[in-house]
Amino acid sequence: MKNHRRYIPAFHFHWLTRWYDPMMQCFFPETGIKAALIAQAGIQSGQTVLDAGCGTGMLTLLIKQTEPGVAVYGLDMDFQALNIARAKTGKAGEIVALQLGSAVCLPYADESFDCIFTSLMLHHLTRQDKQMMLREAFRVLKPGGELHVADFGVPHDVAMWLISCFMRWFEEIHDHILGLLPVFMADAGFNPVQETARYQTLAGPISLYRAKKSGSNHSVREKRDIAA
C-alpha cells in the first residue's frame, strides 16, 4: 500500500499552511473545541496517545500540557505542517514523538494506543480514505480504547446548511453533512459511537464524537488467527 495518498492540505493549498494557526485563531474557536475533545477522553498518566493528522500540532501540544504523564505521538503527511508542529512543541519544551506518515496506513503495531484523537482531519480525506483511516484507528487501539473525533457534522439550521454547501466545493465534507461519520465508525468496528457535542462556527457545524473499541473484542491478530 502506498504511504503517500491524495489529501487536501490545510486551507486547501500548501502556500496557505503558514497562515493556518493565525487564521484559525481569528475565525474559529479551535482552542475551546480541542480542549473539550481532550476533556471528554479523560486521559490518564501512563497512557499512550496518538494525534492522527496532527497538522501544526496544536492538539498534540495541548494533550501533553493537559496530562504530562502520557506518551504522545503525532502523525501527519504534510511536511510543512509537521515542521510547524516540531517548532511549536520544541518552543514549549515538550517532548512528543512527531512522525511523517499517512493516517490511512498507520505505521504502528496492532493495539499500540489507549486513545486516538483526530481533529479537523477527516474532512481532508476522500470517502474511501476516511473509511480506511477509521479501520486503521480500530486496529492500533487497545481493547477498551477510544477514538475521539472533532470534525464537520450535520447542519441543524439554514445558516449552517448554506455554509456547509459552500464548503463542500473546497473540502470532502459531503459525507459529514449527510451524517455518515458515525456510520463509518460503526462499520470500522467501533461500538458504541456517540455524538457528544455540537458547535456552530463561521466555517460550518462541528461535531465531537466518542467511539469505543470494545474490551471484549478479539484483537486484530486473534481474528487473523481464527480466520486462518
> What would the pLDDT profile of 15-56 be if each residue is shown by its tens digit?
455 545 555 665 666 788 999 999 999 999 999 999 999 989
What domains are there in the chain, each with its CATH number? 10-227 (3.40.50.150)
The three three-digit cell numbers of residue 65, written as one number: 500540557
Whole-number mean pLDDT of the chain?
A: 82
The three three-digit cell numbers of residue 127, written as one number: 470517502
d(C-alpha 85, C-alpha 191), whole Å: 32
d(C-alpha 57, C-alpha 117), whole Å: 12
93: pLDDT strictly greater than 50: yes
* Identity of residue 93: G
Instruction: Give residue 223's pLDDT.
Output: 40
Contact assessment for residue 114 and residue 49, using Cβ atoms and an 8 Å cutoff: yes
> What would the pLDDT profile of 151-204 be if each residue is shown by its tens digit?
998 876 555 545 545 454 445 688 888 889 999 999 999 999 999 999 987 777
Contact assessment for residue 114 and residue 45, using Cβ atoms and an 8 Å cutoff: no
Does a cis peptide bond (omega within 30 degrees of 0) precede residue 107?
no
> What would the pLDDT profile of 127-146 be if each residue is shown by its tens digit?
999 999 999 999 999 999 99
Instruction: Give residue 213's pLDDT.
Output: 98
Instruction: Give residue 228's pLDDT.
Output: 37
